[in-house]
Amino acid sequence: MELSWQILKDLEEKYGECFYLLDLDRFKNNYCGFLDCFRSIYPNTNIGYSYKTNYIPQLCKSAYELGGYAEVVSQMEYDLATLLGVPTSRIIFNGPMKRPQELAKAVLAGSIVNLDSLQEVQTIVELAKRLPEHQINVGARCNFDIDSDRISRFGLDVENGDLDYIFKTFKELGNCQVIGLHCHFNTEQRSLESYALRTKKIIALNDRYFPDQPPKFIDVGGGFFGHMTENLRSQFNFYIPTYQEYADVIATQLSQRFAGDLQPELIVEPGVALVANVMKFVGKVVGLKTMRSRHLALITGSIHTVKPSKQLPLTVYKNELDDTLVASNTPIDLVGYTCMEHDCLYPAYPTAVSVGDYTVFDNVGAYSIVFKPPFIWPSPPIVSYSSTTNSYELARRQETTQDVFATYEL
What is the distance between the alpha carbons of residues 13 and 196, in angstroms, rounded to a whole number? 50
- Last residue of one domain, picked from the residues 275, 291, 312: 275
- Which helix (H) or strand (E) segment holds residue 194: the answer is helix 192-209
CATH code, 285: 2.40.37.10
- Last residue of one domain, picked from the residues 275, 308, 338: 275
- Which helix (H) or strand (E) segment holds residue 266: the answer is strand 265-268
The pLDDT of residue 323 is above 70? no
Verify that 71 and 170 share a domain, yes or no. Answer: yes
- Last residue of one domain, picked from the residues 275, 294, 321: 275
Which whole number is the average pLDDT over 268-280?
97
Residue 47 forms part of a structural domain: yes
Verify that 150 and 261 share a domain, yes or no. Answer: yes
Which whole number is the average pLDDT over 283-308?
94
Q: How many domains does the chain have?
A: 2
- pLDDT for 325 equals 59
- What are the pLDDT digits (tens) for 206-243? 999 999 899 999 999 999 999 999 999 999 999 999 99
Verify that 109 and 209 share a domain, yes or no. Answer: yes
- pLDDT for 13 equals 97
Residue 63 forms part of a structural domain: yes
292 in Cβ contact with 305 (< 8 Å) = no
Residue 182 forms part of a structural domain: yes
What is the distance between the alpha carbons of residues 91 and 72, in angstroms, rounded to a whole number? 7
Residue 58 forms part of a structural domain: yes
Residue 16 forms part of a structural domain: yes
Verify that 259 and 382 share a domain, yes or no. Answer: no
- Give, in order, the Cα–Cα distances in Å from 50 to each of 63, 69, 146, 160, 340: 10, 9, 22, 29, 31
- CB crowding 18-47: b at 16 or more within 10 Å, else e: bbbbbbbebbbebbebbbebbbebbebbbb
The pLDDT of residue 259 is above 90? no
Residue 384 pairs in a beta bridge with 22, 393
Question: What is the extent of the structural domain holding 386?
Answer: 5-21+277-405
- Give, in order, the Cα–Cα distances in Å from 191 to each of 46, 202, 228, 309, 354: 21, 17, 16, 19, 42
- pLDDT for 392 equals 95
Enter the pTM of the model. 0.95
Which whole number is the average pLDDT over 276-289?
96
Verify that 246 and 286 share a domain, yes or no. Answer: no
Verify that 300 and 200 share a domain, yes or no. Answer: no
Q: ∠ CA(148), CA(370), CA(119), 5° rounding?
A: 55
Which whole number is the average pLDDT over 147-159?
89
- pLDDT for 326 equals 59
What is the distance between the alpha carbons of residues 274 and 279, in angstroms, rounded to a whole number? 11
304 in Cβ contact with 314 (< 8 Å) = no
Residue 255 forms part of a structural domain: yes
Verify that 359 and 243 share a domain, yes or no. Answer: no
Q: What is the largest CA-CA distance in the chain?
A: 80
Residue 410 forms part of a structural domain: no
- What are the pLDDT digits (tens) for 120-137? 999 999 999 999 999 999
Average pLDDT taken over every residue of the chain: 94
Assign 112 a pLDDT band (cuts: 50, 70, 90): very high
Strands 176-182 and 136-143, bridge-based pairing: parallel
Verify that 210 and 61 share a domain, yes or no. Answer: yes
Assign 14 a pLDDT band (cuts: 50, 70, 90): very high
What is the distance between the alpha carbons of residues 376 and 301, in angstroms, rounded to a whole number? 11
Verify that 198 and 284 share a domain, yes or no. Answer: no
Verify that 134 and 225 share a domain, yes or no. Answer: yes
CATH code, 204: 3.20.20.10
- What are the pLDDT digits (tens) for 65-86? 999 999 999 999 999 999 999 9
Verify that 250 and 282 share a domain, yes or no. Answer: no
Verify that 183 and 70 share a domain, yes or no. Answer: yes
